[in-house]
Amino acid sequence: MARAAPCKTCQRLRLYLTVALPLVAMIYLQPDGAVRLATWLPSPTVIGWGIIVVGVVGFALKLRAWRRGGDT
């Protein structure tokens, strides 16, 4: 019996957990590689601003498409 493909929300959740759980484990265990990687990453403030900018741009694009009557 063939199983139905998971919905988009389930796929996103699986991707999120696939990325998030190893990161949480690295924070807890703090292996040398993770500590070295942390020195290359931007500060939390820069990451936060990046998330805000991406969200605002995404919202603006969807709003523009909606106002033009397009499908989003």
The answer to whether 28 and 34 have CB atoms below 8 angstroms apart is no
Position with higher pLDDT, 72 vs 25: 25
Residues constituting the chain: 72
Cβ atoms of 59 and 53 within 8 Å: the answer is no
pLDDT tier at 19, thresholds 50, 70, 90: very high
- The Cα–Cα gap between 13 and 8 comes to 9
Average pLDDT over residues 13-38: 87
pTM beyond 0.75: the answer is no
Q: Is the pLDDT of residue 72 over 60?
A: no
First to last CA, the chain: 34
Is 34 in contact with 24 (CB distance < 8 Å)? no
